[in-house]
Amino acid sequence: MGIRPRTALGIVALLALAYAPATPFVRTLTQHLPESVATGIGALAPVRSAEAAGRPAARPEEFSRSNARSEPDREPDRSDVVESAIPRQNGDLACLAEAVYFEARGTGTQGETAVAHVVVNRAKSDSFPDSVCGVVHDGCQFSYRCDGRSDTLADKAARARAYKVAQTVLEGAPDITRGALFFHSAKAKSGFSSRKKLGTIGGNVFYR
């Protein structure tokens, strides 16, 4: 099988390029070759020239990468992160749950809810601090604050119930105490004889 003239010319051009940089002779050869062959030989010329000069040469595929526009670094898209999944510490919630845990633990959901409402009612009253935490931390209004014991909510199950009750009350659950501002254990002697008695819930007596 014979070699076609244009193919032979291409081989000659490649051999010439292998031993010499792009010269007028090589450029003349490529003018007589098919466009696809001439393009390939032209792309190799810078490679051979650089190697002849003793420096690293960028290969044809590297030209496109180096000339490509680089994109600036971007922060990962976090728009799909559900905000409610991000942990947040709500001050009022923590304070109210603490009061429910220590003042009403073991009195049932109704008893715990009633105590939570007393705290919230005080925060709304002009006679007490104007925040839930302010009410809870108001001196020794709640005995557990001054008994010298740890205020750690150690019982996990009780802590979870206290937080659930506190959250429900803070979200606007109906006040089952009808505006109570004071309470004491039904087993203790009353110190609120001058106050209006509203009823007993969960083992505690409530007053306004």
Instruction: Encode pLDDT of 100-143 as tens digits.
Output: 999 999 999 999 999 999 999 999 999 999 999 999 999 999 98
* C-alpha neighbours within 13 Å on the C-beta side of residue 147: 9
Q: Round to whole Å and give the CA distance between 152 and 2.
A: 95
Domain chopping of the chain, boundaries: 5-63, 91-207
Contacts of 175 (CB under 8 A, 6+ apart): 117, 120, 121
CATH homologous superfamily of domain 91-207?
Cell wall hydrolase SleB, domain 1 (1.10.10.2520)
User: What pLDDT is recorded for position 190?
Assistant: 83
DSSP annotation of 194: T
pLDDT higher than 80, residue 154: yes
How does pLDDT run across 62-100, given as a tens digit for each residue? 433 334 444 444 444 433 333 332 233 479 999 999 999
What percent of the chain is predicted at pLDDT more than 90?
Answer: 49
Whole-angstrom Cα distance, residue 199 to residue 113? 14
Can you name the residues that pair with 207 across neighbouring β-strands? 182, 197
Q: Is 8 helix (H, G, I), strand (E, B) or coil?
A: helix
First to last CA, the chain: 113
